[in-house]
Structure formats: structure tokens, C-alpha cells
Structure 1
Amino acid sequence: MSRATVRRTGGAVSDTEADVIVVGAGPGGATTAYHLARHGLRVLLLEKTSFPREKVCGDGLTPRAVKQLIKLGVDTAPEAGWVRNRGLRVIGGGVRMELDWPDLASFPNYGLVRTRLDFDDLLAKRAVEAGAVLHTDTNVIAPVLDTSGRAIGVSAEVGPDKEPATFHAPLIVAADGVSGRFPLAMGLAKREDRPIGVAVRRYYRSPVRHQDEYLESWLELRSREGGDKLLPGYGWIFGMGDGRVNVGLGALNSSSGFGKTNYRRLLTDWLGSTPPDWGLADEANADGPILGAALPMGFNRVPHYTRGVLLVGDSGGMVNPFNGEGIAYAMESGELAAEIAVQALARAAGVDRERALAQYPAELKLRYGGYYRLGNIFVKLIGNPQIMRIATKHGMPHPTLMRFVLKLMANLTDPRGGDAMDRMINAMTKVAPAV
């Protein structure tokens, strides 16, 4: 395996040839690069920014994401800077319920919290330690195509002076997030018939709430203005363990006000109704600006493989429609992309290699297609405030039902065996037509 080098500033470009180029060093890209390098391939990991760098959302990790971290050899102990959580606290319909993560053979029984400021940096370092070559401050602007239209490299602008550079590889992984600039350059537009969400979040100093054993989800948001008015969307509060909380809200395009709502104002309206001792209604406790991002859901960009390019994570619209979780699916798709790339590149270029690469979208569809179909239906249903109100009112008082809902929404079941809930959820996803 070649010696890993890290390039973090502008200057002369080296290491321009590889077996695989990964565009974007977020969780999906870093995971892909790690698994590729671990199998001995020469990997270039190209990131447009520098580390550490801030990203929106993602601080709260479910057991699905924890499993991927463990596969990367990441130490998830509290001593290593992680805050563990036992499950999800759900608030809605006048009910407050704490639901522990299920005990499963397939997933750990704890979640984690860590800021994206150093989370992505940590994963990128794992990829470098495995043998990947990381180029930061490298903004990929277009694919390099051969005469048949197949991607054989990328062109980029490097450093503050935007020095032009070209990198070559027989296979490209697009992990450039929700913007999907690289897939767009390949002619892959987003599908308008798939759900998309928007999320905004902000950090607040809150000595009362920063230590919490549960991720907290608010199914109903209310404003202190207008007589306890019900607001659109759902909210969350994640204790960061360092004196701060991550507070945010999300909304889906199935709601009538989507695209017409000031979500930053919506966040402060909601926080104004929280208890004063939490400190979330006081602007003086804010730690940084309100940031927002889109959540591309349910395979809203396909195909996931075409002409030498594999799509991973948000660039392929892999956010879970049920709960807005994206990191776990970015990392899972990255691992899968790496496994298939290793097998494909062991074959001669041409029909035989393409046959292997075609397994990537087929396997994604098999793993997530039925589940995302159910999620897309779920998004349409909860976009109706009346349905959401009825579901919250009649579902929240029943712990057994809510444990089922937690397993379904977090996609946490044992695929073989498991309890009756697991078998029911697994059966539902198998009979649902794949998206």
C-alpha cells in the first residue's frame, strides 16, 4: 500500500493518478476512501474545504451510524470525546416518552453525539491512516470524459488562487453532498417526485440541558406568540455534553408551507416557548448563527451508477424519509460502493467490469428500495397536519406502539430472527415496491 500523504494548502499538485477518485470528504466520502484504501487500492480523496469545517445537522447519531464507526475502527468511548445516548425522547400530544434503542444482534444499543466540526475531520483522518491521499482546498468543478462519455477523471481548482488541476482514475465516487454538483455535471438531475426536507439548527449554551441520556424529538412545535400557536415541522434537542445543545427543526416538502416559511424565524418562535431556565429563548446564549441545509430523501437522484461514476450518500438522495437521518446511509453506501469497486477493478475494463459495477444500484435498491417506498408514503401522510395531529394524539399514549414506530423510523431491526416487531417491519419492506 502506498504511503499516505495529506495536502492541506495550495501549491504544486501531486498524486494526480489513482485507482479511484472520491469527490467529497464528508462521512460518505471518507468511509468510501477508507474501505477502498484498506483493500489496497490507490485512492484520491478530494475535498473543497479545509478541516476542521462546520456542517449543518448530523450531531446526533443513531446505532446505525455507530455500527459504521466501529467498522472504521473509531474509538466511540466517552473518553475519546463522544457523548453516548440511550435512545430517543419523544414529546407530542401532551405526552413525554423515553424509548431506549432496541437490543439487537445487528446494531449496538447506543447512539452518539459529536459536533460535525471535528466528526468529519476524524473520519477523513481514518481514511488517510488506511492509505488514502487527501487533497483539501480542492474544488472539483467537472468530470473529465473520454470519447464515449465515460468519466476518467476530474478537473478541479486548487487552493486560494484556484490553480487548475486534473486528476485521473478509471472510477469516480461522487460524495459531494446535497448540492450534487458532480452528478449534475454528469447529467443526473434530482427527481421532483421524491421527498425533500429542509433543516435549520443552532447551538445554544444551556447548563440545564447539555447533559442528556436521550436524543429529544418534538413532534409538535408551538409558539408563545399568537396564543400557543401550533407551528409546522418537527424539532430536536441534542445535549452536546460541553455546556451546549444542538437545537433545530425540520420540515418536509409534503407540508403546505414548504418553501414559503422563514425557518430561522420558526426556530426562534419555537424556542421562545421552551422553559426559561433552559436558556434557549435568550439570544445571549446563542453560540453561532442559525444554519440550514436541504435533506435529499428516498433516492431522489438516480441512477446510482453510470458511466464510471458511483453516487454515495446525499449526492444520491439517500436520506431516510422517516427520520431525516443521512450519515448512516452515507457511510453504508460508501462501504458498499468500496466493496463493489474493489471487485470491479479486479476485472478487465469493459463488459465484465461494467457487469460488476451494475451491482451497486441493484444492491442499493434491494437494501433500501422497499423501505424508502414506505418512507415516501409516510412523508406524504404526515404532511397533512390533521393526520399528524391524530397520529400523535392516539399513538403517543401507547408505549408498545411507539417502540414499534421507533424501530421502523430508525430502521433498526434484525434481518433474521428478531422479535415480532422486527419480522413485521422486515415483511413490510419486502412487499413494498422498491423506489
Structure 2
Amino acid sequence: MAEERAAQPVVESDVIVVGAGPGGSTTAKWLADKGLTVTLLEKSTFPRDKVCGDGLTPRATKQLIRLGVDVSEEAGWIHNRGLRTYGGRKEPFEFLWPELAQFPNYGLTRPRSEFDHMLAQLAQAAGAELVQGANVSEPIIDASTDRIVGVRTKDGGEYRAPITVAADGNSSRLALAMGLEKNRKRPMGVAARAYFNSPARTHDPLMESWLELWDGKPGESNLLPGYGWIFAMGDGTVNVGLGTVSSSASSQKMNFRDLMWKWLANTPAEWGLTRENMVGTIGSAALPMSFNRKPAYHRGLVLVGDAAGMVSPFNGEGIPYAMEAADMAADAIADARARGFGTPAAEKALAGYRTRLEAEWGGYFRLGQVFVSLIERPEVMRLCTRYGLPRPTLMKFTMKLLAHLYDTTDGDWMDRTITSLTKVVPSA
């Protein structure tokens, strides 16, 4: 006779956060700071890796500073001061991070295996309970209200709370179980990355992007869709990757490993970006963009980060948006608790999270969708790089737009122009 498994006790809290990535851990940290009891569920065990470029722009740096993180080089962070862009000509364009009132003038680099663990520990230190190895299998729905009131894990655990945050990534099985499907008309990116031993490049003070990927000799072969990057890690290695983006989620057919080796064959031999110098393997991941899963609040479920498609269509960056959304979500949830979870007033507060997201990024993401529909065509990208890169003023304007680094209230003419553009287009 099989031995019966003892039932696990039900864990109750104010909020359950599913997924301890940057969005989930930051949400848990802000909620704990506001005095709410938080259970943070992570299906893996730290430290664990994620496919990512590991490079953070000043937008993400700002969020870390707000969290109270020591981002000094003495604390293990690699600082970068801008972006070097190749395309259209032999000489690259160097864009230094701008001096802005709203953002610092430097970016950071840190492996995701360390970055995510650090944020989870930050949430713990604030008072959140971190449960590792908790693989959520299904939501618990209150039949009388049709609201989510908790989750179950594959090992039989049961966690209950008035509000659940889905920060469980692109696939977000929790959101799917609640009936929230992806909008396949929204842009979808795919990225692949690997680490290489490269003493020649490991201390580069600039992040690097390649806007032209050739399948042979540059300028004399086929131009392929996509972009590449090289980020210095400061430890003898570099993070090398490439990505592509399409205007819909249904057309992702590229062989990334093959494309990466074709691109790297054109890099200087002294950089050492060869199969022999690769550390580990090439990994890949999807980049859900432009609010491809909505609404961000639904029947007691709050979506944060990739679960809601909070990746920029302009540059494939998702971490700063996940962390900013975490702050907004925590504000709305704390307000809802003060009004009384489940009351009409609390629901108004939680609906305000959706409204705030669209007000902050809706226009910008909509512009990004137009951008994607153009640059996914290699011939258009080639024209842009050929005629745009030699023009420093145009490139500075473009880079501010692509990096989402401009002052919305006290900037120069470029900042004012971009801000106006994002306000006149409909929200994504």
C-alpha cells in the first residue's frame, strides 16, 4: 500500500508573487517596504541563469538606485558610459549616455545569475518570504466571485492571498490559466546569446551593437534581419548575442546559432569570438513586446514584466520596464489594501495600474510597433544605417528614442519632440 503524503499547511499572505525575476522580486520588495505580507514563489533555485544580454541602460540603473542597491564598481558592477553602433560604414557611431535630469549618465553590466539572486535577497531583506523550488501549477479560483485567491504548486503546496502577481515570464502559465492569451499581432522578438573568453574586449567602457548582420563578406553578401551585441563583463569574458524582431508573433523562423557564427566570422581575430573560446552554450529566449498580453489587472491577478509583454519594441530591453511596473503595481496593491481588498474602491485602485502603464509607455510602445514594421525588412534597415549613421544629430535623436532616454519635462528640443510624438499616437 502506497504511503499517503501528508497535506501541507496553507500559507496565507496579503500578496503572492509568482516568479522571482527582476519584476517579481522588485514587486515583492516594494510591497514589503509598504508593510504588506508577501510570499515570493520561484520555481528554480538560486543562483540560476537566464538568457539575457546582461547589459543595463541608465533606465535600469535608475531603478536599482531607487531600490537602494550599491551599484559602485567596488560592489562588483561593471559601468558603461554609452553605446557604440556599427552599420552603414566602417567607422562606428558612439553615443554617450546623455546628461538628463531623470536618469543617471551610466549603465551597468552584471550576469543575470547574480543579478536576479541579488534582487530576490533584497526582497527577503525587506520582509518578503522567498520560497524556492515552488513550481506553480494552477490558480485557485473562488467560485462565488470568479477571482483568483491563491495558487497551487506541483509539490502540493497551497498559497492564498487576496491579490496574486504573475511575474512568471513570457509563457505565463498562470495568466493563461486565467484566460489571458497573447495578442499575436503585437511584435515578438527572439534573442540568442553566449559568453566568450575575450581579454581584448572584456573591459570595453561602451556597450556595442551591430545593426547589420551579413551571411558572408560585409557589403558583398546577403544582409540578414536582426541585430547583434557585445557587452564587456570585466572578468575576461564578453556577452555576445543577436536578436530579431517581427511585427507579429507568428514569423520567427531564423536559425540563430547558424546566424551567430556567420556574423562572428566577420569580427577581428584578436577578439577571440570563436567556438574554441565559447564558455558554455548558445541559449535563446523569446522577447514579448508592446503589451502583448492585456489587461495587466484581471480578477485579482496583476501582471508584471514579460508576463504582460513589457519589452521595448525599439531595443528588446525588458528589465527596466519590469522594475518600473513593479513599483507601479506595488503602489496600486498597497492602495487597494488600504481601501479594503475586494471592495469597489479597491478595484478602482487596481484598475488604475492598467491606466498608469498605458499613460507611461503606451504611446512609446505604439511608435515601436511602427519602427519594427520597418526595420524587420533588411533593405529598409540598410537604407537607414547607410544614410542615417553619418549624420550625428540624426543619430543622437534616434539613439535617444531607441534607448528611451529623454527628459519628459525639462529636456532639449530632441526630448520635447520625442515626448510630443509619444503623446499624439494612440496607446499600444
TM-score (norm 1): 0.94
Aligned to 1:379: 372
Structure 1 residue runs of 5 or longer lacking an equivalent are 1-10, 158-162
Aligned to 1:363: 356
Aligned to 2:20: 25
1:388-427 equivalent positions in 2, closer than 5 A: 388-427=381-420
Residue identity matched to 1:71: R
Aligned to 1:3: none
Q: Let me know the Cα RMSD of the aligned residues.
A: 1.7
Aligned-pair CA distance for 1:221: 1.1
Write the distance in 1 (CA, Å) between the matches of 2:326 and 2:249.
34
Aligned to 1:106: 102
CA contact 2:225–2:377 (8 Å) conserved in 1 = no
Aligned to 2:3: none
3-state SS in 2 of match to 1:138? coil
Aligned to 1:143: 139
Aligned to 1:324: 316
Specify which of 184, 189, 193 is matched with residue 185 of structure 2: 193
Query: What is the total number of aligned residue pairs between the two structures?
Result: 419
Write the distance in 2 (CA, Å) between the matches of 1:70 and 1:225.
43
1:206-221 equivalent positions in 2, closer than 5 A: 206-221=198-213
Write the distance in 1 (CA, Å) between the matches of 2:207 and 2:217.
27
Aligned-pair CA distance for 1:14: 6.5
When structure 1 is superposed on structure 2, of 392-401 and 247-256 the one drifting more is 247-256
Specify which of 146, 150, 156 is matched with residue 153 of structure 1: 150
Aligned-pair CA distance for 1:265: 1.1
**222 and 137 in structure 1: CA distance in 2 versus 1, 3 angstrom threshold:** same
3-state SS in 1 of match to 2:339? coil
Residue identity matched to 2:140: V
Aligned-pair CA distance for 1:13: 5.8
Aligned-pair CA distance for 1:352: 1.3
Write the distance in 2 (CA, Å) between the matches of 1:55 and 1:245.
16
**123 and 256 in structure 1: CA distance in 2 versus 1, 3 angstrom threshold:** closer
1:9-408 equivalent positions in 2, closer than 5 A: 16-94=11-89, 95-147=91-143, 148-157=145-154, 163-224=155-216, 228-254=221-247, 258-280=251-273, 282-348=274-340, 349-408=342-401
Moved over 6 A (4+): none
Write the distance in 2 (CA, Å) between the matches of 1:66 and 1:324.
16
Aligned-pair CA distance for 1:229: 3.5
CA contact 2:138–2:177 (8 Å) conserved in 1 = yes
CA contact 1:225–1:269 (8 Å) conserved in 2 = no
Write the distance in 2 (CA, Å) between the matches of 1:50 and 1:256.
30
Write the distance in 2 (CA, Å) between the matches of 1:284 and 1:393.
34
Aligned-pair CA distance for 1:232: 2.1
3-state SS in 1 of match to 2:284? strand
Residue identity matched to 1:97: F
Write the distance in 2 (CA, Å) between the matches of 1:373 and 1:414.
19
Aligned-pair CA distance for 1:406: 1.1
Write the distance in 2 (CA, Å) between the matches of 1:256 and 1:197.
8
Identical pairs, percent? 55
Residue identity matched to 1:210: T
Q: Deviations over 1:158-178 (max 9, x none)?
A: xxxxx2111000001100011
3-state SS in 1 of match to 2:254? coil
Q: Deviations over 1:249-287 (max 9, x none)?
A: 00112499942221111111111111111110x211000
When structure 1 is superposed on structure 2, of 267-276 and 330-339 the one drifting more is 267-276
CA contact 1:312–1:330 (8 Å) conserved in 2 = yes
**332 and 275 in structure 1: CA distance in 2 versus 1, 3 angstrom threshold:** same
Residue identity matched to 1:403: K
Write the distance in 2 (CA, Å) between the matches of 1:352 and 1:139.
33
CA contact 1:223–1:272 (8 Å) conserved in 2 = no
3-state SS in 2 of match to 1:155? strand
Write the distance in 2 (CA, Å) between the matches of 1:230 and 1:156.
47
**368 and 26 in structure 1: CA distance in 2 versus 1, 3 angstrom threshold:** same
Write the distance in 2 (CA, Å) between the matches of 1:265 and 1:369.
35
Residue identity matched to 1:263: F
Residue identity matched to 2:103: F
Residue identity matched to 1:40: G
Write the distance in 2 (CA, Å) between the matches of 1:205 and 1:71.
33
**212 and 165 in structure 1: CA distance in 2 versus 1, 3 angstrom threshold:** same
When structure 1 is superposed on structure 2, of 29-38 and 55-64 the one drifting more is 55-64
**350 and 264 in structure 1: CA distance in 2 versus 1, 3 angstrom threshold:** same
3-state SS in 2 of match to 1:340? helix
Write the distance in 2 (CA, Å) between the matches of 1:15 and 1:35.
24
Residue identity matched to 1:310: V
CA contact 2:53–2:231 (8 Å) conserved in 1 = no
Q: Deviations over 1:186-221 (max 9, x none)?
A: 000000110000000000000111111111000001
Write the distance in 1 (CA, Å) between the matches of 2:249 and 2:384.
18
CA contact 2:9–2:158 (8 Å) conserved in 1 = no
Residue identity matched to 2:81: R
Write the distance in 2 (CA, Å) between the matches of 1:25 and 1:309.
16
